[in-house]
Amino acid sequence: MALHIHEAWILLCVIPALVTPAAINHEDYPADEGDQTSSNDNLIFDDYRGKGCVDDSGFVYKLGERFFPGHSNCPCVCTEDGPVCDQPECPKIHPKCTKVEHNGCCPECKEVKNFCEYHGKNYKILEEFKPSPCEWCRCEPSNEVHCVVADCAVPECVNPVYEPEQCCPVCKNGPNCFAGTTIIPAGIEVKVDDCNICHCHNGDWWKPAQCSKRECQGKQAL
């Protein structure tokens, strides 16, 4: 009985030594992440030159097939020399365009500005408006505002006033002029003091009055 135990012990010691590393099948053990990454770096892609075209996403197109590359909205045709893409002369976008779409090969204007902007306000085409009492304006089809400023005549008085909603000043008290610092009405002679009688120039209301001395009343020479 002791002999059989001794022989079994010898077999247990000898069997591991007979198992060599070559006998272990590596397919039984999954490769770690590092081994998988290094194996992917050695992938070799097919050469499609002369056979087809590859777009930006890696999709392969046959010779003669039309496709749209990822960086352009213009169509391309796959040839043996590679993609041949349309490059048309696109029309210019209207400078007043407010909405441009880029879905096609050329950008398209979908909405043109149909109003005028003036001092922060919008006006319709051909609309007339008065931004101030002295201005008359219109929104032109070119989206530009053209204005005319009223040309006021020279007032016939030295103290004109501006009425609300009126452009030009008015002489509320009629024509007049200055006689010194005194305002006198036009058309009549005015005795401004005991010795001087004045009247306004005919038509030249901005000029000083013409005065002449008369015999002073109420004063006697000393």
Domain boundaries, the chain: 52-106, 115-149, 154-215
158 closest CA partner among 181, 177, 145, 137 = 177
Model pLDDT, residue 24: 42
Give the other-Cβ count within 10 Å of 167's Cβ: 16
The domain defined by 115-149 folds into: Complement Module; domain 1 (2.10.70)
Residue 59 has pLDDT above 60, yes or no: yes
Q: What is residue 203's predicted lDDT score, i.e. its pLDDT?
A: 66
H or E stretch at 36 = helix 33-40
Q: What share of the chain is helix, strand, coil (3-state, %, to 5)?
A: 15, 30, 55
Are 97 and 112 a contacting pair, CB within 8 Å? Answer: yes
pLDDT tops 70 at residue 214: yes
Residue 209 has pLDDT above 70, yes or no: yes
